Amino acid sequence: MGHPLSGTARGRWLTRGKDGRLTLHAPSDDGLLRWTERRPGGPEWTGPDFFPAEHLTDLVIAQGADGIVHLLARRPRADDPGVEIVHAIQYQSGRPVTEWRSLGNPYRTAENGRKAGVPTAAVDTQGTVFVFLRNAGRGLQLRREQKDGKWGRWEDLRGSRLGDGPVPAATSDGHVEVAVPSEQGVRLWAQDAPDGALSAVEPPLECGALAGSGTALETAPGRLTYYWTDPESASVVAHRRGGPVVPIGGSPGDGALAALRARVDGQDCTVLAQRGADGTLLLGVCATEAERHGMWWSDTGVACTGDPALALDALDRVVVAIRGADGAPRLTRQDPDGPGLTLSPDWRRL
């Protein structure tokens, strides 16, 4: 491979397009790599396609219900504001990625600009992109796309002593929320109505969250469940607004969780994936919104580096993607004839 992976992207780096084909995006030192299924459901893939883009770091991927894939990253600048947030789009599976467009950052000076955190994003049901960023003062900034395709100004959502790695998500009823770890517990901002302002939800949750570990999943219409790593107990926890923080076990490493809803033995289940403390891929399964009854965890024994990714293919089989110990992307699929969440032992190296 002429352009080896430099890591894994944050967010949904394995996506399913409107045509049912899966796409895998990954960063390299000098650009972006992309693999695409030849046909819906696989098993053959094309790629890697290479899209040159120098000096990008912290690649983040988000996807809306319209199937459009949004890519965000940080790019250093020698002049003010020191670092800019850049954005590119893939409109359809296998189609070219647009040029990277600068969204700037909330600051005019390089000194403050370089203190801005890693961008994260959510896309609402209308296709509007919301970009969140921890600012230099450790509060939260938002920049959102407007209906005419232009971008609004950076909005200061305030907050204090926030950690990096906001966890935004959009629901099927058009709302956007974001959870952020802080020294005071987990902070949450939410919309009262689609297209509305995001307001802080008080009080903060009195629990710790490892920065960069969180993910969110819509587990009922209009309702999100957040998952993150509690650094004190070294356990994964689950939380829904208005409910308790529920420990669900696991043996997480220091990376992010991936979450997905899927049919397992005919039942609506939540699937979690993480790189465990021993460096192997761990999977957790429970009935959706029934975490209090227990999460079933299994260690695949497959070594991985970086954060795993989950997606459903065109046949609604769970697909798990990792960056292997050799640095190459690998993936496998659910065996529909096996009991529970049985994965094929044949990992495809891309």
Per-residue pLDDT reduced to its tens digit, 20-78: 999 999 999 899 999 999 999 999 999 999 999 989 999 999 999 999 999 999 999 88
Distance CA 196, CA 124 (A): 12
142 and 230 inside one domain: no
Q: Transcribe 4-65 into DSSP letters.
A: -B-S--EE--EEE-TTS-EEEEEEETTEEEEEEESSTT-S-EEEEEEEE-TT-EEEEEEE-T
**Residue where one domain finishes, among candidates 206, 234, 260:** 206
93 and 137 inside one domain: no
Domain count, the chain: 3
CATH of the domain at 301: 2.120.10.70
pLDDT per residue as tens digits for the range 247-283: 999 989 889 999 999 999 999 999 999 999 999 999 9
235 and 341 inside one domain: yes
Distance CA 215, CA 259 (A): 7
The pLDDT tens digits along the chain (350 residues) read 478 888 899 999 999 999 999 999 999 989 999 999 999 999 999 999 999 998 999 999 999 999 999 999 999 988 888 999 999 999 999 999 999 999 999 998 999 989 999 999 999 999 999 999 999 999 999 999 988 889 999 999 999 999 988 999 999 999 999 999 999 899 999 999 999 999 999 888 989 899 999 999 999 999 999 999 999 988 999 999 999 999 999 989 889 999 999 999 999 999 999 999 999 999 999 999 999 999 999 999 999 999 999 999 999 999 999 999 999 999 999 998 888 899 999 999 99
Q: With pLDDT > 90 as the criterion, what percentage of the chain qualifies?
A: 84
Domain-embedded: residue 109: no
Domain-embedded: residue 102: no
Q: Transcribe 64-84 into DSSP letters.
A: -TT--EEEEEEEE-SSTTSEE
pLDDT at residue 307, rounded to an integer = 95
Separation in Å, CA 213 to CA 14, 231, 258: 18, 10, 9
pLDDT at residue 154, rounded to an integer = 96
pLDDT at residue 206, rounded to an integer = 87
**Residue where one domain finishes, among candidates 159, 183, 206:** 206
Residue in 344, 346, 345, 301 with CA at minimum distance from that of residue 325: 301
160 and 187 inside one domain: yes
169 and 213 inside one domain: no
Under a CB-based contact definition with an 8 Å cutoff, are residues 180 and 140 in contact? yes
Domain-embedded: residue 252: yes
348 and 294 inside one domain: yes
235 and 124 inside one domain: no
Domain-embedded: residue 296: yes
202 and 222 inside one domain: no
342 and 230 inside one domain: yes
pLDDT at residue 49, rounded to an integer = 96
191 and 259 inside one domain: no
Its sign, for the CA torsion 249, 228, 323, 15, is positive
Domain-embedded: residue 80: no
First to last CA, the chain: 10
pLDDT at residue 161, rounded to an integer = 94
> Residue 169: helix, strand or coil by DSSP?
strand
> Residue 185: helix, strand or coil by DSSP?
coil
Domain-embedded: residue 81: no
Q: What is the mean pLDDT of the chain?
A: 94
225 and 350 inside one domain: yes
pLDDT at residue 298, rounded to an integer = 95
Q: Centre a 10 Å sphere on the Cβ of residue 274 and count the other Cβ atoms it contains.
A: 28
Separation in Å, CA 287 to CA 227, 262, 294: 15, 10, 9
Q: Centre a 10 Å sphere on the Cβ of residue 261 and count the other Cβ atoms it contains.
A: 17
**Residue where one domain finishes, among candidates 97, 129, 144:** 97
What residues contact 59, with CB distance under 8 A and at least 6 apart?
9, 10, 13, 25, 26, 27, 32, 71, 72, 73
214 and 350 inside one domain: yes
Q: Give the residue numbers spanning the domain of 43.
A: 1-75+87-97
Domain-embedded: residue 110: no
Domain-embedded: residue 82: no
